[in-house]
Amino acid sequence: MISLSRRSLLKAGAAAGALAMPAVARAKPDHIVVATPGGVMDDAFEAAYFAPFKAKTGISVVKTTNQYAKLKAMVDAGSVEWDAMDCSGEQAAVFSQQNLLEPFDWSMIDQNGLLPGTVNPNFTLVDIVAGVVAWNTSRVGAAAAPKTWAEVWDLKRFQGDRMFWKKPSQTFEAALLADGVAPDKLYPLDVARALKSLDKLKGHISWWESGAQSAQLLIDGEAAAGYAWNGRLAGPKANGAPVDFTFNQAMFLADAIVIPRGAKNKRESMELIAVMLDPENQANFAKRVPYGPVRSKAMDLLEPARRAMMPTAPENFSRGTLVNGEWWAKNGVDAAEKFNSWMLS
Same domain for 290 and 303?
A: yes
Whether pLDDT at 21 is above 60: no
Distance of CA 94 to CAs 68, 69, 289, Å?
11, 12, 26
Mean pLDDT of 142-157: 98
222 lies in some domain: yes
Tell me how crowded residue 137 is: count the other CB atoms within 10 A of its CB.
Answer: 15
151 lies in some domain: yes
Buried (b) or exposed (e) across 163-202, using 16+ Cβ within 10 A? bbbbbbbbbbbbbbbbbebeeeebbebbbeebbebbeebe
In this structure, are residues 101 and 230 in contact, taking their beta carbons and an 8 Å threshold? no
Same domain for 121 and 135?
A: no
- Rounded CA separation 126/295 (Å): 9
Whether pLDDT at 19 is above 50: no
- Rounded CA separation 108/102 (Å): 15
Q: In the chain, at which residue ranges do the beta strands (DSSP E only) sit?
A: 31-36, 60-65, 84-88, 123-136, 162-165, 205-208, 225-229, 243-258, 292-293, 321-322
Angle 69-75-77 (CA atoms, 0-180°, nearest 5)? 100
What is the predicted pLDDT for the residue at 39? 85
Same domain for 235 and 333?
A: yes
The model's confidence at residue 27, banded by pLDDT at 50, 70 and 90, is confident
Same domain for 78 and 218?
A: no
235 lies in some domain: yes
In this structure, are residues 272 and 283 in contact, taking their beta carbons and an 8 Å threshold? no
pTM, full prediction: 0.86
- Rounded CA separation 103/29 (Å): 21
112-121 residue pLDDT tens: 999 999 999 9
315 three-class SS: helix
**Amino acid at residue number 56:** K
Same domain for 190 and 115?
A: no
9 lies in some domain: no
Same domain for 328 and 202?
A: yes
Whether pLDDT at 18 is above 90: no
Tell me how crowded residue 210 is: count the other CB atoms within 10 A of its CB.
Answer: 11
Angle 74-77-83 (CA atoms, 0-180°, nearest 5)? 35
Same domain for 41 and 174?
A: no
Q: Could you give phi then psi for residue 272, rounded to 5 degrees?
A: -65, -45
Whether pLDDT at 255 is above 60: yes
Say how many domains are in the chain: 2
Buried (b) or exposed (e) across 246-278, using 16+ Cβ within 10 A? bbebbbbbbbbbbbbbbbebbebbbbbbbbbbb
35 lies in which domain range? Answer: 31-128+254-317
- Read off the CATH number of the domain in which 307 is found: 3.40.190.10
Tell me how crowded residue 244 is: count the other CB atoms within 10 A of its CB.
Answer: 18
183-194 residue pLDDT tens: 999 999 999 999
Same domain for 292 and 303?
A: yes
Same domain for 176 and 244?
A: yes
What is the predicted pLDDT for the residue at 25? 62
CA 319 to chain centroid, in Å, comes to 19
| Percent over 90 (pLDDT), the chain | 91
More confident residue, 2 or 34: 34
173 lies in some domain: yes
230 lies in some domain: yes
Same domain for 148 and 290?
A: no
16 three-class SS: helix
Same domain for 183 and 303?
A: no
What is the predicted pLDDT for the residue at 10? 36
154 lies in some domain: yes
287-334 residue pLDDT tens: 999 999 999 999 999 999 999 999 999 999 999 999 999 999 999 999
Q: CA 322, 328, 334, 336 torsion: positive or negative?
A: positive
Same domain for 194 and 333?
A: yes
6 lies in some domain: no
